[in-house]
Amino acid sequence: MFLFSYSTEHLLKKDKVRFYYALKGRDGKSGVVKEFNITQLGRAVLLVPEKDADEVEQFLKIWRCRYDKKEVLVRC
């Protein structure tokens, strides 16, 4: 699993809304989070399965978000 922490400071308010709609969907149930089975741990922290990390990284790059990506071990 990978832990992504990102920043949206550079986005205008209207673009932040568009970013969050793309991330979580307008209904809060669709979007990238649902599509890639991501767990949102905090406001700007995502826990992403290893197989989907590249897609999430591309998503953040498209939005020009600064981010940190760390590999983590999760015990269930």
Position 3 pLDDT exceeds 80: yes
CB 69 within 8 A of CB 2: yes
Domain residue extents for the chain: 2-71
Locate the DSSP E strands across 1-76: 2-7, 39-42, 45-48, 66-71
What pTM does this model have? 0.87
pLDDT digits (tens, 9 = 90+) for 7-34: 999 999 999 999 999 999 988 778 999 9
pLDDT band at 5 (very low <50, low <70, confident <90, very high): very high
pLDDT digits (tens, 9 = 90+) for 49-65: 999 999 999 999 999 99
